[in-house]
Structure 1
Amino acid sequence: MTGRGFTGVVISSIFLLSACTSADSDAVSENPREVDGISTRAEINVDAGTVDLPLDRFYVKAAEEDQLSTGTGVAMALCAEEKGLTYQVTPASNPEISAIYAQEHYFGPWTQDQAKKWGFAPLLPTNDLIVNGILSEDTPYTKGYFPPKKGERAIYDLTDEEQLILDECGIAGQAFTKAQVQDGGWHREYDPLEFNYTRNAQAVALVEELGKCFSEKGMSPETREGEPWYPQGARADRITEEQITLALKVVECKDSINFTQRMADIESAEQVQLIEKYSAEMIAKRKQIDEALSEANKVISQNPQKILESNPEHTH
């Protein structure tokens, strides 16, 4: 069972340092630092709330996916314009929202910021927390984008007949959509959601060490769902002062034993074999992604008139 998410405590899955650090631990001391130029080390970024494992670098990240999706939309809009259909594209997201989706729980909340903002709830923008019933419907937030101005049309305003024209333009953004497809051998053999800590003696010992800190702070590990890195009483379906206080205690324990870096090092060590086997394929995939991103950025920057204006007062 992975630590990337909140899968079982109280409710089932809802849907799921300004500088990076990568200190050596016992888990990585015997592994090569690089394989064919690919780093085998984990990097954690406290400010960004990200845990970057070796294989993660060959998947499209949240901000990259947004950029490729927006590039696809603009490319299709340009194609449609050549066929006499004009409309504007709503960006897939904006930097603030992308930054939230880029964060992750790694064996639960692991940064002070995550604990203070979400407690044990999923790391989501305010509007998504409202939709999922975690925050009340009267929670204030500002929509991210302005509606179409006079003379503009959004894609959701197209008629059925116009949609047929748009369907003909699907090929226009094909390079951007292909880059987002994960079809590599390493992807087929490794599921990032299936790291089973119980099969790794170092990981088991580390979770037990975390449990001892819980006890020292008056908490008890949650064992009913097999996720003892959560304390009893943790709730994923609400954000309250009580939950925030509890989450902050968990983060304090993790910080005190360098839990996140050490566990990330353990998981990274398990990925080395796949990197050795698929390094050439992985490098080719990252090249495909980077080239698609470069082209998407060019299409977007050269055609601002095709994108609906974002709201500068947007809050998450």
Structure 2
Amino acid sequence: MTITRPRSSQAVTLAVSLLVLSACGSGAEPHASESVPAVPNISLQAEVNYEAGTVTLPGDRFMLSAEESDTLLSAQSGAMAACARKNGLSWTGWNISDGDYSYVNMWREFGPWTEFMASNFGFAQPRSDLGLMTTGLKPKSEDYEEPTVPNTELSESEIGQVTETCNDDPVVMSFMETNVVDYGPWAEDLGGSADLLEGNDSANEVFDELAVCFEQQGMTMKEDSPGFPTAATVEVIDEEQIQLALKVVDCQTSVNATERLTDIMADL
């Protein structure tokens, strides 16, 4: 396992973890279980980055990153707009993301596990300040402006006409993810690695240790969501939820849950 730890809890920085496909040539020493053959120049280890709050599993190195996927979507929307204009139709391309993937890439399969994550988001999905304000998880600032959504003024029939005319346009098709990346039959299993821990003896040992720590901290772990206490909610970020999340981080740290679980997932 490759581990990146913060220099201090006060110095936690959001390093953007862009898992581009070229990262496969990192030269890291492969670590493989007996059932998975080592592949030269491709790390089969889980990489845990405490500063960024990210986890990179072996399968992630074969998938498009969030940035790459959004880049394709943005290009596809631009091609759709060009096709629409060429055919005398109204359509506006859009920018898929604001370019900050620090929060999108934060890993929280089994609850918050860094102080930054817990103290800023509680149990909610990590988002930028704009995202938190837009979803009502944070009070709107004085200069807040509702994000504009292109094409909302078009009627359903107009949208249908653009779709019918341009969906099969060669340029639009060239930016579809399914036409750019040829995923094999392994993709579905890799994408659901966390689900594959169900019934795994080693993973259950970690979950049992977490549950004991939760009880010692006055919490009860959800049976269907290991790492999350029953009092947790993703719909509110307040002092109560933050303090609860910080207790979870203490338990995650005390049993080394993230590193142990991601090592197990890497060997699946």
TM-score by length of 1: 0.61
Which residue, 74, 88, 106 being the options, matches 1:103? Answer: 106
User: 1:206 touches 1:259 (CA, 8 Å); kept in 2?
Assistant: yes
Deviations 1:189-210 (A, max 9, x none): 5551652435222212222233
| Cα separation, partners in 2 of 1:86 and 1:230, compared to 1, 3 Å | closer
What is the letter of the counterpart of residue 80 of structure 2? M
Say which SS state the counterpart of residue 229 (structure 2) adopts.
coil
The 5-angstrom pairing of residues 229-240 of structure 1 reads 229-240=227-238
The 5-angstrom pairing of residues 134-153 of structure 1 reads 135=137, 139-140=140-141, 142-143=144-145
Say which SS state the counterpart of residue 232 (structure 2) adopts.
coil
After the TM superposition, which segments of 4 or more aligned residues of structure 1 sit over 6 Å from their partners?
none
The 5-angstrom pairing of residues 10-159 of structure 1 reads 18=15, 34-35=38-39, 37-84=41-88, 88-96=92-100, 98-124=101-127, 135=137, 139-140=140-141, 142-143=144-145, 154-158=150-154
Query: Equivalents in 1 of 2:112, 2:237: separation in Å?
Result: 13
Question: Deviation of residue 103 (structure 1)?
Answer: 2.1
Query: Equivalents in 2 of 1:63, 1:130: separation in Å?
Result: 22
Quick check: 225-234 or 246-255, which moved more? 225-234
Query: Equivalents in 2 of 1:49, 1:80: separation in Å?
Result: 41
User: Which protein has the bigger helix share?
Assistant: 1
Which residue, 258, 262, 265 being the options, matches 2:263? Answer: 265
Percent of matched pairs sharing the same residue: 32
Aligned residues: 237
Unaligned runs of 5+ in 2: 1-13, 18-30
Higher relative contact order (CA closer than 8 Å, sequence separation 6+)? 1
Indicate the RMSD between aligned Cα atoms, in angstroms.
3.7
Match of 1:211 in 2: 211
Unaligned runs of 5+ in 1: 1-16, 21-26, 148-153, 271-316
Query: Equivalents in 2 of 1:261, 1:33: separation in Å?
Result: 22
What is the letter of the counterpart of residue 254 of structure 1? Q
2:225 equivalent to 1:227 = yes
Say which SS state the counterpart of residue 39 (structure 1) adopts.
coil
Query: Equivalents in 1 of 2:224, 2:161: separation in Å?
Result: 50
